[in-house]
Chain A
Amino acid sequence: QQQVKQSPQSLIVQKGGISIINCAYENTAFDYFPWYQQFPGKGPALLIAIRPDVSEKKEGRFTISFNKSAKQFSLHIMDSQPGDSATYFCAASVSGATNKLIFGTGTLLAVQP
């Protein structure tokens, strides 16, 4: 129940295209859903996050869509660029004493020029 399932495992997108990564969870107590971007040899960087009281959040080219009833959320990267090539992780946590994040398995995105 603590798992966060992420798909696809890898994704190839043409420059200018839309990259879509999906995540699903079981624990209905999760109330914070961030997305992280990680380049090789670096720590993850927080991209965008959402709470379940909204269905969509947009920051620049990055959008999170959230479906509470389906227990799914997704990251859309509009106008994908080669510089977006990285590994993306979704995560979830429960607000509270520890707030520990449960991570998805990651998606390796390659944006071809």
Chain B
Amino acid sequence: GAVVSQHPSRVICKSGTSVKIECRSLDFQATTMFWYRQFPKQSLMLMATSNEGSKATYEQGVEKDKFLINHASLTLSTLTVTSAHPEDSSFYICSARAGAPKVGAFFGQGTRLTVV
């Protein structure tokens, strides 16, 4: 399969600060990347679709000013959680869609964010 690298894997930050999470497609180019949030023992909730060179598309209920997404190149998308609060603590996962021959959506390792 294709490789998607996400960094950092864990981050602890103070309430009110901002945190940036990077998602890279290592062996393919991804015009579209996706950001998910996952609560313990629950499914993945799509937050936004990140399109290279254009604005991200956010799902209903997701605050675009709080979760800033930048997709500046075909291999890198970033999610910045601004003015983080304890309720933002969660597992954030990115994915990228690969085209032929590596067809499918491939996920990063996830980032465990803890806001204290």
Chain A residues within 8 Å of B, Cβ to Cβ: 34, 36, 41-46, 49, 89, 93, 98-101, 103-106, 108
Minimum C-beta distance from A27 to chain B (A): 15
Choice from B32, B103, B109 contacting A43 with Cβ under 8 Å: B109
A34 lies within 8 A of B105 (CB): yes
Minimum C-beta distance from A19 to chain B (A): 19
> Could you list 20 examples of A-B contacts with CB < 8 Å?
A34-B104, A34-B105, A41-B112, A42-B109, A43-B4, A43-B6, A43-B93, A43-B108, A43-B110, A44-B44, A46-B1, A46-B106, A93-B105, A98-B49, A99-B97, A100-B34, A101-B34, A104-B43, A105-B43, A106-B43
A46 lies within 8 A of B44 (CB): no
Minimum C-beta distance from A97 to chain B (A): 8
